Chain A
Amino acid sequence: EVQLVESGGGLVQPGGSLRLSCAASGFTFSNYWMTWVRQAPGKGLEWMANINQDGSENFYLDSVKGRFTISRDNAKNSLYLQMNSLRADDTAVYYCARDVLRFLKWHTDFDLWGRGTLVTVSS
C-alpha cells in the first residue's frame, strides 16, 4: 500500500526539541521531493519545508529557518524534521506529503499525505 506514516509528535516544553519522522512505503521514495506541512488547531495549512530527492536542496518557511531542519534517509525510506527552540505557536498537527511529478514538472501539488502527528508546545 502506498502510504506515509508520521511519528514522533508529543508534548514538549517551550525551548525544547523534537524530531519527527515520516515512513514511506509502497513507492520509490528516493524519486520524490518531499515536504512538511503543519496545521495549528482550528487553523489553515502552512507549508514548512521541502527537500529534493537526494537531500542536496531544500527550502524553508522563514519563521522556522534556523530552528527546523528537514532531512531524509533514502535507504530507510524516511523523511525527518528536527525541530529546535520550539515555541507555543509551533503547536500543530504536522503532515508529511509527497510532491508529484506531472508532465515532467515538479511542484504542482502534493498527491500523498500522511495522517499527521500532533506536536504540542506547552509548559
Chain B
Amino acid sequence: AIQLTQSPSSLSASVGDRVTITCRASQGITNTIAWYQQKPGKAPKVLIYDVSNLETGVPSRFSGSGSGTEFTLTISSLQPEDFATYHCQQFNSYPLTFGGGTKVEI
C-alpha cells in the first residue's frame, strides 16, 4: 500500500499568512493526488484534484503542486474560514490511502 505522510501534523498561523502543507508518498504517484478540507464535525470537502486542479467554487488562494513522491497544498493568504484540517489522498493504486491530516490552527 502507498503510504502518505503529511507534514506538519499541525501548525499555528495567522490570518494573511502563506501556509504550505506537504504530502510525501512512499512510492511514485502519477498525478492522482487530491486535497480535502475538513472542519470539526463535518464531512471533508474536496479542494484540489489531480495534484493541481482547483475544484469549482474553491477560492483561488488554494493551490496544489508536486510530482513523483512530493506534493504540496498552499494557501496563499490564510482566511478565518480556512482554519481546519487538511487531508491528502492518492488514487494511484488500491488501497486508496489518505495522509494523516494537518490541522491548521490560529
In the complex, A29 has a CB within 8 A of chain B: no
Chain A contact patch, size range? 20 to 34
Within 8 A of B (CB), among A34-82: 35, 44-47, 50, 59-62
- Write out the residue numbers on chain B whose beta carbons fall within 8 Å of the beta carbon of A95: 43-44
Interface size on B, residues (CB 8 A): 25
Stretch in A9-17, A18-26, A104-112 touching the partner: A104-112
Among B87, B96, B97, B100, residue most surrounded by chain A Cβ atoms (within 10 Å)? B96
A50 to B91, CA, bound (A): 12
How many residue pairs between the two chains, A and B, have CB atoms under 8 Å in the bound complex? 62
B87 and A110 contacting across the interface, CB-CB below 8 Å: no
Within 8 A of A (CB), among B32-85: 32, 34, 36, 38, 42-46, 49-50, 53, 55
B101 and A44 contacting across the interface, CB-CB below 8 Å: yes
- Write out the residue numbers on chain B whose beta carbons fall within 8 Å of the beta carbon of A97: 43
Can you report 9 A-B residue pairs in the complex whose CB atoms are below 8 A from each other?
A45-B89, A59-B95, A97-B43, A108-B49, A109-B36, A113-B44, A115-B42, A115-B43, A116-B43
